[in-house]
């Protein structure tokens, strides 16, 4: 990861609540690879301040109705929200002993709540990793966070449009 991406992420984390739009533009102009910036922001972990969330949304999602986001050959388009509604559900689950083959540190007694990799794969296969030895699928949480930021941005724009009508 290049140093300018790390520095930009530090600025956003430290000064995100007070940085102006103009200052934000200047910070972003110095970053060659916005993917690296997203990785650096995500590396700090949540909670993300409003500027970090804004930048992640800009990197991950459609920022106007005329632009598509493309990642790993899959095109982000308007029907992604419909796919969320159709395919993604929350489940309560525990991992079985087979999960220890993928990650020996897995706690098979801990209860989890969330979507399954197989459901998320129907929305965007790029957020799912498959273990080459076992064939088990897991969620790439970094990519999922970016995908979710884009979906949240889409929902926010739809809400604003509805409120303005």
**pLDDT greater at residue 11 or residue 54:** 11
For the chain, the domains span: 3-60, 69-139
Burial (CB count within 10 angstroms: exposed 0-12, middle 13-18, buried 19+), residue 56: buried
pLDDT in tens, 56-115: 877 765 344 443 444 433 334 446 778 888 888 999 999 888 888 878 898 999 998 889
Who's near 31: CB < 8 A, 6+ residues apart?
4, 5, 8, 37
The DSSP secondary-structure symbol of 89 reads -
The angle subtended at Cα 84 by Cα 91 and Cα 146, nearest 5°, is 95
The angle subtended at Cα 115 by Cα 110 and Cα 117, nearest 5°, is 100
pLDDT of residue 130: 86
pLDDT in tens, 121-142: 888 887 888 888 878 888 888 8
* Contact call for residues 102 and 138 (beta carbons, < 8 A): yes
Mean pLDDT calculated for residue range 3-24: 89
């Amino acid at each position: 990861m290049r140093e300018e991406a790390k520095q930009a992420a530090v600025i956003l984390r430290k000064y995100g609540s007070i940085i102006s739009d103009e200052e934000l533009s200047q910070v972003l102009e110095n970053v060659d690879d916005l993917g690296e910036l997203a990785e650096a922001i995500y590396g700090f972990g949540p909670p993300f301040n409003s500027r970090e969330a804004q930048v992640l949304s800009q990197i991950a999602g459609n920022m106007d109705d005329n632009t598509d986001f493309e990642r790993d050959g899959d095109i982000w388009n308007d029907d992604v929200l419909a796919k969320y509604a159709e395919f993604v559900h929350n489940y309560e689950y525990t991992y079985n002993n087979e999960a220890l083959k993928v990650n020996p540190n897995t706690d098979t007694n801990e209860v989890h709540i969330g979507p399954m990799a197989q459901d998320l794969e129907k929305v965007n296969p790029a957020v799912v990793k498959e273990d080459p030895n076992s064939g088990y699928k897991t969620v790439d949480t970094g990519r999922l966070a970016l995908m979710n930021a884009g979906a949240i941005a889409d929902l926010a724009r739809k809400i604003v449009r509805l409120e303005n009508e």
